[in-house]
Amino acid sequence: MENRDWLLHFKRYIIDYKVDRIHLENRDFIKSYPDGKYYSTLKGDKVRSKSEQYIADWLYRHNIQYLYEPKVSFSDFSFTPDFFIPGANLYLEHISDRSAPMQQKEKQFVKSGHTLVCTYEHMTRDSNLFNLALTRIIKGRLPANYTTQTILSYEEEMKNHGKEVRDFLQQVIRVLDMCQADGVDLEKM
C-alpha cells in the first residue's frame, strides 16, 4: 500500500465506527467486556482506555513491538504494567485519575533494576506534544538499527474486518446513488 497513513486512518475509522461503534449513545456491548477492555487497537488488542489505545496505536504505527499488560513479578508481588516494549527493554505505565496508586509498583521497578517510564493523562490533551513525548521516551531507547517504517498490506491490515468494510462501502454506494438521483454534481462539492 503506497499511502500507509490513509490505510491506518481508514482502519482506525472501521475499528471505531464499525467494530467498536463508539458513536452510539447506548453502548450495551460494553457489558460484554467485564474486564473493562473494550477499546480496540490497530494491532487488534483490547485495552482499557482511549489513552492506552492511542499509545498502542502509536507503537503500532512506528513498528515498535509491545506487550499489553504483561504479568510481572519482580520482587514482592505480581502486577501488570500497561506496556512492555522489548526492543527498548522498557515498561510504560499510563497514569490517569482512574489508575491505582503507583508507589508500590515503582518500588518494585527500582528494586529489580527494570526501567519504568510514566505518561500522564494531561499529556494526551495535545496530540502533537504527546507524540513528541512518546518519541523522546521510546525511540531513544531502541537499538540504532531499529526500523520504524514498514510497508503495510491492505489485505493484512483489513483481514479481520471484511464485513465492516463491505458495510462501509455499501453506505458509500448508497450515498453516491442518492447524489446521482438528485443530480448533485460531486465535482463542485
Task: Look up the CATH number of the domain holding residue 33.
Answer: 3.40.960.10
What whole-number distance in Å separates Cα of residue 189 and Cα of residue 185? 7
**Whether residue 138 sits in one domain with residue 110:** yes
pLDDT in tens, 15-63: 777 777 766 655 555 555 556 667 888 898 889 888 999 999 999 988 8
pLDDT band for position 108 (cuts 50, 70, 90): confident
Which amino acid belongs to residue 23? H
**Whether residue 107 sits in one domain with residue 44:** yes
Measured CA distances, 62 to 41, 120, 129, 152 (Å): 14, 21, 16, 12
pLDDT of residue 90: 94
pLDDT of residue 70: 93
What whole-number distance in Å separates Cα of residue 84 and Cα of residue 89? 7
**Whether residue 171 sits in one domain with residue 129:** no
**Whether residue 94 sits in one domain with residue 33:** yes
pLDDT in tens, 141-174: 888 888 766 666 677 777 777 888 888 889 888 9
Phi (first) and psi of residue 40, to 5 degrees: -95, 140
**Whether residue 168 sits in one domain with residue 92:** no
pLDDT of residue 93: 93
Q: CA geometry: angle at 172 spanning 170 and 174, to 5°? A: 70
What whole-number distance in Å separates Cα of residue 121 and Cα of residue 111? 26
Among candidates 83, 85, 91, 143, which has minimal Cα distance to 114?
A: 91
pLDDT of residue 180: 84
**Whether residue 171 sits in one domain with residue 149:** no
**Whether residue 81 sits in one domain with residue 36:** yes
Among candidates 62, 64, 63, 57, which has minimal Cα distance to 43?
A: 57
**Whether residue 171 sits in one domain with residue 148:** no
Range of the domain at 14: 4-155
Count of domains forming the chain: 2
**Whether residue 86 sits in one domain with residue 30:** yes
**Whether residue 146 sits in one domain with residue 163:** no
pLDDT in tens, 80-106: 899 999 999 999 999 988 888 888 888
**Whether residue 167 sits in one domain with residue 142:** no
